[in-house]
Structure 1
Amino acid sequence: MNRKTLVLPAVIGLLAPVLAACGGSDSGDKGGDAIAVGTTDRFIASKAVPAPFDPAYAYDAGSWNVLRQTVQTLMAMPRSGSGDPVPEAAESCIFTDSGSERYVCKLRKDLQFADGDPVTAADVKYSIDRVRAIKSSSMSYGLLSTIDTIETQGDREVVFHLNTPDATFPYKLATPTAGIVNPDDYAKNKLRDGFEVDGSGPYTMKAEVDGKTVVKTVFTKNPHYKGQLKPKNDKVELVSFAGADAMGEALEKGDVDMMTRTMSPEQIKKYSTTPPENINLVEMPGMEIRYLGFTTTADSVRTKAVRQAMAQLVDRGELASSVYGTTAEPLYSLVPAGITGHQNSFFNKYGDPDRAKAAATLSGADITTPVKLTLHYTSDHYGSATKKEFEVLQKQLNASGLFDVDIKGDIWDTYRAAQLKGKYDVYGMGWFPDFPDADNFLAPFLDKDNFLASPYANGRIRGDLIPAERREADRLTAAKSLQQIQNTVADDVPVLPLWQGKQYVAARDDITGVEWALSSSSVLQLWELSRGVSG
């Protein structure tokens, strides 16, 4: 299985038998030593980010991937990352009415936290009510906004009463925001600062810290775990690197066994064409998107015509190909291609890049050109190519003569805090879905209590279209409302979609289960990995 790139289709299970035959079996970790996995995700505790691993605060792909190993949820996404959620801490969950407003879950029998304490329905209620009460600055509590009240019936039954129909609610219970925590470890009205995590998931976790930065996260198999997962190893170490180059060097030296996000485009090209001996690159479906966000009350972009002119000028094709090569594709909606309800609304409205049309848009709104803007980006959160991406955007906009653009990068912990406070007029962000449904590419940016803390508020989207699509258990039926939302976004441009990306994992060839290491929803599934036989 040396020296090859494996391309995994959406129906990933078709390849599993072949891959298993190449590197070992599902019989567990034969080597006995921990499997080391590299990542460029950086976890820093600071005044701006006090509780990176608290389910009431965490709301980025990196911290969620730590929580998914340790903190159990009532529901979980299937192994592939697509399809309907399946029971996890729950034995069963079901809507008990025809209007998707009453959802009942029954816990598994004899469920325990890792310390041996029983997990009860009261703990579930406490955990979710805690997130809703704390209302952290990360805005993660918005995922639970359709809950009205929670009641318990005995030790094992939890009843969710929703304030509006929400067919996507089972997906939300599969997110770490709905993670179950022990009241003994997590105060009711206060975040748990630092890096300690306790739960009932497949692993316990211990963070190795240098100053206020995590350098390694050690996951050890939880003997009390009861759920639908079947961990294939006893210990995994998630090692944080300052950049993709250092992570790649560690893989090639054998200091780590696998590396995940975020590999650089150069590494992906190298491992696709001339990989080092005993290292394989796995390509898999992904739903990652990148976009520009706007503080629509800021003077520089308050007028819709400015945002529309930018949408008219940005050349997504050049941006994706020149920076990311074959690893990214142009995106013309917040909803990526492949998701039910996707529509190319931005292309339908603006077509190919056109300076004359952009100039006419600005002139029609009496906007003096060139429009001065600063595009902000995070220098350390989405990979080393982000700076180059913003240099390309700067060049495209400035070449039109209609804009005078500067760019500025900041590290993630200060960047995210500043963005939430509205300090950036225009800023770049990425999105890894909470769950694989079009609602999760729209509501988090457009609804009340949204992920961006955006001042943009469209009454029809919030009052009519989002509630309408959430009423439909059949997501094909919901597509009409979803597409109307996308068309409105293309017209108002509170966000500007740029590209959607594929996912890649590189691993040494004695590691098995690599094809399942990342689901299509970007869930890091460390429990799938084991050490097999190099071949």
Structure 2
Amino acid sequence: YAVKWALERTIRLNGPEGGVFLIADVIKEIEAVDELTVRITLNYPDATFLIRMTDNVIPALIYAGAPENEFTQGRYVGTGPYRIVEYVPDERVVLEAVPTYFGPAPKTKRIVWVIYANEAALRAAVEAGDVDIAYRTFNPVDIVDLQKNPNLQVVRGPSVSIRYLLFNVTQPPVDNALVRQAIAYAVDREAICERVFSGLNAPIYTMVPEGLPPAGASIPVFPKRDLAKARELLRQAGYSEAKPLEVNLWYTPTHYGTTEADVAAVLKQAIEETGLVKVTIQSLEWAAYVQRMSQGGFDMFLLGWYPDYLEASNYLAPWTTESPESLGTFFNRHPRYPVYKELMTKALTTLDEAERAKIYQEIQRMSAEDVPWIPLWANYQQAYLVAQKNVKGIVLDLTMEPHLDLLYKE
């Protein structure tokens, strides 16, 4: 009953904080068969549904009579190993272990989660020993320096955060596939990772990170740097030293951190090394960036992705079937878009994981031909955790969050 009530409430609320968009369209009916069984009938087959359902459930027995805005008005509820005993916005969250938690008891009874205003303040706090753990905030220089500190341990987990270049395939001059292919050969991922991120991030050649289900879904399909090939394609597209390609490169200066301007500069240099391209760098702050992107106002632009759920489709479907216009590519107007949509629809209705992986592979191969996007790097910078030497139980997984219930100090 609690599961049925919680799901129906989530769909009914349809609020910005929840993940209702992940389940609302697909669910037709929810039935509580008995106290331990829920039957969910779908409007259409969806092989990723169970993965997207792995979220928390709130207790209907306690909250069925609560107002719909109960959890946006200062009261919090969960089913995990900790409960919130204090929350000061933009300052701290205090957690205490739940003695009646159904799983193994947390290693640490009380955790104070402190929010720092900036990277410098957090670094100073961890170096001074004022905090035991710090993560997901440091710039590359900080991480490299902290790795040299004998009093600290620096741990890197896996990353499902990626960065990439996108094209509006309806916008000249990047509406020409030869131009997009040439830029794919010209970009210098290694230079970005080394010069901007001190080697902390890693080049990627597909949009799908390794390690996501289904097994084998991720394959490298985009080419490594080849300036000669880039020049050849640009000449085929009609460009020359006398008539260079002129293209804008857009970025947003703060949303992805202070390194974004450096990324744009390295990309500009790499592409212009063809001798046949002139890149103009432009920027907008995030709110204006998103608005212009959805209106089709960019030709070539930088963006990043962190998944809504951990399955390969979440790195392909947004651009192929779900929201290509709001994400700025307008790929739904591309001649081969119906093929992508058919393949993605087939994948999402294929329960056999090996077969589904093959379909995802085909979509990736096609994307390397049509180049609506260029994957650039895996954002490992966000997967680093810095801790005092006496902190144990550090486990980082694809969620890119530490397991708080396993942490303890010796």
TM-score in terms of structure 2 length: 0.81
User: Does residue 467 of structure 1 match 2:345?
Assistant: yes
For the 8 Å contact 2:157–2:400, the answer to whether it is kept is no
User: Does residue 393 of structure 1 match 2:273?
Assistant: no
Aligned match for 1:219, one of 86, 89, 95: 95
Distance 2:309 2:352 in 1: 16
- Aligned-pair Cα RMSD in Å: 3.5
Structure 2 unpaired stretches of 5+ = none
Residue pairs, 1:365-384, within 5 angstroms:
369-381=244-256, 383-384=257-258
User: Does residue 362 of structure 1 match 2:237?
Assistant: yes
Distance 2:125 2:372 in 1: 41
For the 8 Å contact 1:372–1:405, the answer to whether it is kept is yes
Distance 1:468 1:258 in 2: 44
Distance 1:427 1:130, change over 3 A: farther
Distance 1:484 1:186, change over 3 A: farther
Aligned to 1:315: 188
For the 8 Å contact 2:71–2:77, the answer to whether it is kept is no
Distance 1:443 1:475 in 2: 17
Residue pairs, 1:91-130, within 5 angstroms:
119=2, 121-127=4-10, 129-130=11-12
For the 8 Å contact 2:320–2:344, the answer to whether it is kept is no
Q: Secondary structure at the residue paired with 2:405?
A: helix
Aligned to 1:103: none
User: Does residue 408 of structure 1 match 2:283?
Assistant: yes
Distance 1:524 1:445 in 2: 30
Q: Secondary structure at the residue paired with 2:252?
A: strand
For the 8 Å contact 2:97–2:110, the answer to whether it is kept is yes
Distance 2:38 2:171 in 1: 44
Alpha-carbon shift at residue 249 of structure 1 (Å): 1.2
User: Does residue 268 of structure 1 match 2:147?
Assistant: no
Which shifted more, 481-490 or 283-292? 283-292
Distance 1:521 1:319 in 2: 25
TM-score in terms of structure 1 length: 0.64
Distance 1:483 1:353, change over 3 A: farther
For the 8 Å contact 1:244–1:384, the answer to whether it is kept is no
Distance 1:297 1:184, change over 3 A: farther
Q: Secondary structure at the residue paired with 1:312?
A: helix
Residue pairs, 1:29-40, within 5 angstroms:
none
Distance 1:284 1:402, change over 3 A: same
Distance 2:91 2:350 in 1: 44
Distance 1:165 1:356, change over 3 A: same
For the 8 Å contact 1:370–1:403, the answer to whether it is kept is yes
Residue pairs, 1:38-117, within 5 angstroms:
none
Distance 1:452 1:141 in 2: 19
Aligned match for 1:335, one of 177, 199, 208: 208
Alpha-carbon shift at residue 338 of structure 1 (Å): 4.5
Alpha-carbon shift at residue 331 of structure 1 (Å): 1.0
Residue pairs, 1:193-342, within 5 angstroms:
197-205=76-84, 206-209=86-89, 214-222=90-98, 225-226=101-102, 228=103, 230-272=105-147, 274-275=148-149, 277-299=150-172, 301-339=174-212, 340-342=216-218
Alpha-carbon shift at residue 461 of structure 1 (Å): 1.8
Distance 1:122 1:263, change over 3 A: same
Alpha-carbon shift at residue 303 of structure 1 (Å): 3.9
Alpha-carbon shift at residue 333 of structure 1 (Å): 0.8
AA of the residue aligned to 1:187: E
Distance 1:369 1:528, change over 3 A: same
